Structure 1
Amino acid sequence: MINEKNNYEDYLMNYHELLKKAGQDLIAAGKEERDARQLLLYLKKWSVADYLKYGVAEVAKEEEICYQELLKKRTQGVPVQEITGSQNFYGYEITVSPDVLTPRPETEQLVELALREMESLQWPKVLDLCTGSGCIAIAIAAENKKAQVTAIDISDQALQLAEKNGEQNLVNDRITWLKSDLFEGLEERGFDIIISNPPYIPTNEIADLEIEVKQYDPQLALDGGVDGLYFYRKIAEAGINFLKPGGKLFLEIGDGQGSDIAGILRSSHWQDVQVLPDYAGRQRMVVAGKPGHEKIERN
């Protein structure tokens, strides 16, 4: 029988038992139980299928010690993605670092909306602003083989990592990585879609964020100015000039910002402005269109 204590005993557990105990420890520390599996798969370089196949095998003591070290980092607030160095986004593995915002699940829903709009476009031209890790650009290029994507960021470090991620996911032939402060260095126009997850946290709220965000995501990717709306004003004002007539804008927003951002867009003559909920029911996305009757080239 296993001696039930907070620390692991000399008893050689199998991987199923180890994972169960680790999950309980993470819950007790206020973390997600699912993180225990992700860290175990990372340590073993396993797929979920591998875990199901080999989970009854005994765990070597050295492995158990290494696993405990990973769990310790997690209980201390280090995000799983910072421990493993990667995050799955829309089915694609994205390398992350302290230089970029860790991809979030809600951003996948923004990508899904944009891809749905692109289904009827013959050769869609997409502009990804504040690309960070490149996750949005990569997912779009990988899912729509006819898409040509321009991905912009002001950070050299972010762009280097994004290009590396594009190479890893075999899509760099259809993505142009460009350093620019939003539209300032962009000469190309006539995009069908602009998509962005810009910084949207008000400056004075950053200090109150969870430690996993404020300590491990770069401030450059978080700080949206005094009211969190700085980048939305810039995008609303200039973005309409870079879209084809009838083109669409897709934005991720902070919960509670929908009404303000919709007002900003309408004041800049965008039409069909919609504030949309994520799967949790929170207002996290805005879609808007550029006025005009010119037809976008479709199938």
Structure 2
Amino acid sequence: MTESTHLCSIRDLIRWGVSRFHEAELFFGHGTDNAWDEARLLVLGALHLPWDTPTEYLDCRLEADEQAAVHALLQRRVEERIPAAYLLGEAWFCGLPYVVDERVLVPRSPIGELIEGRFAPWLAGAPARILDLCTGSGCIGLACAQAFPEAEVVLADLSFEALEVANLNIERHQLEERVYTVQGDGFDGLPGQRFDLIVSNPPYVDAEDFADMPAEFHHEPALGLACGADGLDLVRRLLAEAADHLNENGLLVIEVGNSQVHIEAAYPEVDFHWVEFTRGGHGVFVLSATQCRRHQALFQARLGG
């Protein structure tokens, strides 16, 4: 990529970025799904302008140093295949901004749609205690804290590095009084604790899918993506232990993405409710605490895969 100084306006640079992204055959799936949105995000971000900058601003001419900053960012996106969120140090989820870097996955879970709907119709009343298990940046748990302003929320993760990012986001949204982090493997850091809502976007990518992932995904922590031959090494444990951490009318929500096929094959007796999303996304199931208790012996018996 060579710098084109005759491209003077914001609109010019977005168009130029789109052309370069198509030429390089980049993958989009970390907050945007097309070259135009990705280029607009990076150009506006480099200029410290919000996503919803009025259209008429796009024809504003840039100073030479601004052009250079935009070019540098677009060049890194093409040459290093780094997702835009990492280049900008920020991603949005459920209408809120979060600090992100390569210690955590880029927020993109369809669970956001469930949070915005307050988990209707499955959740009976407002939960008093919420657990975001495998929290990463903390975006799911913090969005839950915004949706349920009276709830105590625990953000749990195996990775100390991820929890450092989650704590930055707790501070960013000034939720220290009722949101806190816990380090542990699965439920290990939460002995005896029970919750009204457990939400988890754990690692669930199977070995074949992980090997075939575009380069952009390999900037993300493998710990947050891959989890065994069928992607279910951790999910099996969560299912086996969830009943011991749910209150009587509690709810378990877990995202397994493409590994939905492995879940259905492993537990044909279980009536998982697979959520249908209006904005795209798949592979998220809901189980009530009653179902978790009913099937706990089965889940425990199949822990070995």
Change in Cα spacing, 1:276 to 1:187, as seen in structure 2 (3 Å) is same
Matching of residues 22-101 of structure 1 within 5 Å: 22-31=17-26, 32-76=35-79, 77-101=81-105
Are 2:260 and 1:258 aligned?
yes
Matching of residues 82-121 of structure 1 within 5 Å: 82-112=86-116, 115-116=119-120, 120-121=124-125
- Structure 2 gap segments, 5+ residues each: 27-34, 292-305
CA distance in 2, matches of 1:123, 1:246: 10
Instruction: For residue 135 of structure 1, report the CA deviation from its aligned partner.
Output: 0.6
* RMSD after superposition: 2.5
Give aligned pairs, total: 282
Q: Report the equivalent of 1:249.
A: 252
Instruction: For residue 176 of structure 1, report the CA deviation from its aligned partner.
Output: 2.2
Moved more, 108-117 or 25-34: 108-117
CA distance in 1, matches of 2:115, 2:127: 17
Q: Is the 8 A contact 1:127 1:150 kept in 2?
A: yes
Instruction: For residue 226 of structure 1, report the CA deviation from its aligned partner.
Output: 2.1
One-letter code aligned to 2:55: L
Q: Report the equivalent of 1:166.
A: 170
> After superposition, what is the alpha-carbon deviation per residue over 1:119-154, rounded to whole angstroms, capped at 9, x for unaligned?
752453111110111011110001220121111101
Q: Is the 8 A contact 1:27 1:33 kept in 2?
A: no
User: Normalising to structure 2: TM-score of the pair?
Assistant: 0.83
Q: Report the equivalent of 2:286.
A: 287
One-letter code aligned to 2:263: I
CA distance in 2, matches of 1:266, 1:185: 30
One-letter code aligned to 1:11: H
Are 2:188 and 1:184 aligned?
yes
2:275 is paired with a residue whose SS is strand
Q: Is the 8 A contact 1:202 1:228 kept in 2?
A: yes
Q: Is the 8 A contact 1:87 1:95 kept in 2?
A: yes
Instruction: For residue 264 of structure 1, report the CA deviation from its aligned partner.
Output: 5.2
CA distance in 2, matches of 1:147, 1:117: 19
Q: Report the equivalent of 1:14.
A: 9
Instruction: For residue 18 of structure 1, report the CA deviation from its aligned partner.
Output: 2.6
> After superposition, what is the alpha-carbon deviation per residue over 1:62-95, rounded to whole angstroms, capped at 9, x for unaligned?
2212211111111121110111011011111111
Q: Alignment partner for residue 226 of structure 1, among 205, 212, 229?
A: 229
